[in-house]
Amino acid sequence: MMRALSLLLPLMMMMMTAAPAAAQTTDWTQAIVEWTRPTTPFRVVGNVYYVGTAGVSVYLITSPQGHILIDGAMDPSVDGIVANIRALGFRIEDVRYLLINHAHFDHAGGLARLKALSGAQLLASVGDAPDLEAGMTAGRTDLLHFAPVHVDRLILNGMHVRWGAIDLVTHLTPGHTKGCTSWSLRTAEMGRPLDVLFACSLTAAGQDLTGGNPVYPGVADDFRRTFRLLRGLQADVFLSFHPAVFDMEAKRKALEAGDRFAFVDAHELGRRVDAAEAAFEKELEAQTAAKRGR
Ligand SMILES: [Zn+2]
């Protein structure tokens, strides 16, 4: 893994310096170290397993007929993800569908190789598919490029992604990217039915929220619609795509101590959306004031 990372970093630095002069020069080195650090896989609840890294979430949803994998993390993490799946007693070759929460390099970077290794179909939203196939986030020169990956099928809001007994409902929740996608899933733990939500990132991610980005002028309206949509959902288990966003490590400790419902909190979705919305409005206000002051 470290060898792959040491090969990848110079390449990424090269791509960053190749960006236009006006580009922000975000140094992702530290973040990438955290995002690619391996962690032990575990069963979250029901047939939902965590197979990601310490910093980027990847979920395996299993069925006897085959599995669904949500998110690809970064390319240097792919071997670790495959090993995590194997350590839990499953096989990457049995993954039938690959899903992606949003087309940024830290989540989409591993998709191309995971797709090749699994032979799975990649399903993605209309909003994110072009960026996945281009291997970059359009309109963002501060974000890193990633391996382009072919999208096999487009998914729409409300569409069910079914395989075996797995039935995931698609919720298009744009804002963080144009095609940011969340899913909900009914599973059961010790006989108790539970609604799990895989929520797309709810942060502004350094975007111009005032409509100044010609590639995504409607970003603010999308965020507000997304907050409304999420408030209308029911989630006993709130999961997202960076473990820190939903206090995964604290919950995992409680789980390991014997609490099979450590990830169950029916109020968490509401709390997370409230916090995300407050942060969004504050950021929009600051950006609007800064523009006016110019
Ligand atoms: Zn992102």
On the question of pLDDT at 150 being above 90, the answer is yes
pLDDT for 141: 87
pLDDT for 34: 92
Residue of 221, 213, 209 whose CA lies nearest to 286: 209
| Dist. CA 176 → ligand 1 center (Å) | 6
Please count the other Cβ atoms lying within 10 Å of the Cβ belonging to residue 106.
26
| Dist. CA 4 → ligand 1 center (Å) | 22
Beta bridge partners of 154: 124
| Dist. CA 114 → ligand 1 center (Å) | 19
| Percent of the chain scoring above 70 in pLDDT | 91
| Dist. CA 65 → ligand 1 center (Å) | 31
pLDDT tens sequence across 18-44:
333 344 568 899 999 999 999 999 999
pLDDT tens sequence across 37-52:
999 999 999 999 999 9
pLDDT for 179: 97
Residue of 45, 47, 82, 52 whose CA lies nearest to 62: 47
| Dist. CA 257 → ligand 1 center (Å) | 32
Distance CA 47, CA 64 (A): 10
pLDDT tens sequence across 112-122:
999 999 999 99
Unique residue bearing structure tokens 């409304």: 228
Provide the pLDDT confidence category of residue 145 given band limits of 50, 70 and 90: very high
| Percent of the chain scoring above 90 in pLDDT | 86
| Dist. CA 15 → ligand 1 center (Å) | 18
Mean of pLDDT values over 139-153: 94
| Dist. CA 125 → ligand 1 center (Å) | 15
pLDDT for 293: 86
| Dist. CA 181 → ligand 1 center (Å) | 11
* Crossing angle of the two packed helices 2-17 and 29-36, in degrees rounded to 10: 150
On the question of pLDDT at 294 being above 80, the answer is no
Mean of pLDDT values over 44-72: 98
N-term to C-term CA, the chain: 46
The residue ranges of every structural domain in the chain are 2-293
| Dist. CA 162 → ligand 1 center (Å) | 26
pLDDT for 10: 42
| Dist. CA 241 → ligand 1 center (Å) | 9
Tokens (6 digits) for 14 = 């090269």
pLDDT for 139: 87
Contacts with 131 (C-beta within 8 Å, 6 or more apart), sequence order: 103, 108, 137, 138, 177, 178, 179
Distance CA 130, CA 288 (A): 29
pLDDT tens sequence across 87-100:
999 999 999 999 99
| Dist. CA 53 → ligand 1 center (Å) | 16
| Dist. CA 193 → ligand 1 center (Å) | 31
Mean of pLDDT values over 144-162: 97
* Burial of 29 per CB tally in 10 Å (0-12, 13-18, 19+): exposed
Mean of pLDDT values over 221-230: 97
Task: Among 18-22, 48-52, 247-251, 288-292, name the one with the lowest average pLDDT.
Answer: 18-22
Mean of pLDDT values over 175-196: 98
pLDDT tens sequence across 214-223:
999 999 999 9
pTM of structure: 0.91
Calculate the CA dihedral of residues 47, 52, 53, 57 and round it to 10 degrees.
Answer: -90
**What CATH number does the domain located at 2-293 have?**
3.60.15.10
| Dist. CA 227 → ligand 1 center (Å) | 17
Mean of pLDDT values over 238-244: 97
Residue of 96, 77, 79, 99 whose CA lies nearest to 151: 99
